[in-house]
Amino acid sequence: MRSDQRKELETVTRLRAGDRIAFNILFNRHTPSMIRVANTIVSSRAVAEDITQDTWLAVLKSIDGFEGRSSLAGWIFTILINKARTRARRDGRTVSFDEGGEDNNLDAAFDGHGRWKDKPELWDEITPERIVAGRNLAAHMSAAINELPPAQRAVIVLRVQEGLDPKEVCAALEITDSNLRVLLHRARLSLRDRIRTLTS
């Protein structure tokens, strides 16, 4: 068993035992991303926050039923997305994460592992000025993620920020693997362009 699997099993065991510290760590780690993903589906941030709270209640109530067929984060985000979709349907909203189509420029921009072939320039030296500039860049990138179309925003948060396995992302959002690749490609290109405008 890998160390990350052991750590996750320990977290699940602690949650089942009612360990408040384990819950707080999990809550703090995932809540911002949960709100961001829910907000791609529902009408407002306030509703997304309500759904996130409902999701945490469901997680605590159902943790004994967690079977480990996906990662714990994948299970949590699946609950969140299902709750958000139910709320959106109730509010008369329809959200599809399937943008359709293929993007034939994937090979040109990214390698076989989904990493940039031509990365944005990184600083060679870390100075106090660059640390401050880096914080500003992080704030700009967070804003840029929020401005992405809903489907792209959801996949970038789940796949890149939360590190969910591609199969988990596809299952949670009900999209194909090829659609996931296209959405990630488009999101990464938008974010790369944003970085270039800020660092040039």
Q: Per-residue pLDDT tens for 51-97?
A: 999 999 999 999 999 998 899 999 999 999 999 999 999 988 776 66
% of the chain residues with pLDDT over 90: 58
Q: Are 161 and 33 in contact (CB under 8 A)?
A: yes
Domains of the chain: 3-90 (1.10.1740.10), 106-199 (1.10.10.10)
* Confidence at residue 123, expressed as pLDDT on a 0 to 100 scale: 43
C-beta atoms surrounding 53 within 10 Å: 13
Please give, one letter per residue, the 3-state secondary structure of the chain: CCHHHHHHHHHHHHHHCCCHHHHHHHHHHHHHHHHHHHCCCCCCHHHHHHHHHHHHHHHHHHHHHCCCCCCHHHHHHHHHHHHHHHHHHHCCCCCCCCCCCCCCCHHHHECCCCCECCCCCCCCCCCHHHHHHHHHHHHHHHHHHHHCCHHHHHHHHHHHHCCCCHHHHHHHHCCCHHHHHHHHHHHHHHHHHHHHHHHC
Residue 50 has pLDDT above 90, yes or no: yes
Lowest-pLDDT choice from 94-103, 117-126, 164-173: 117-126
pTM: 0.75
Gap between the Cα atoms of 22 and 161, Å rounded:
20
Residue 104 has pLDDT above 50, yes or no: no
Place of tokens 């320039």: 121
C-beta atoms surrounding 123 within 10 Å: 11
Gap between the Cα atoms of 118 and 108, Å rounded:
9
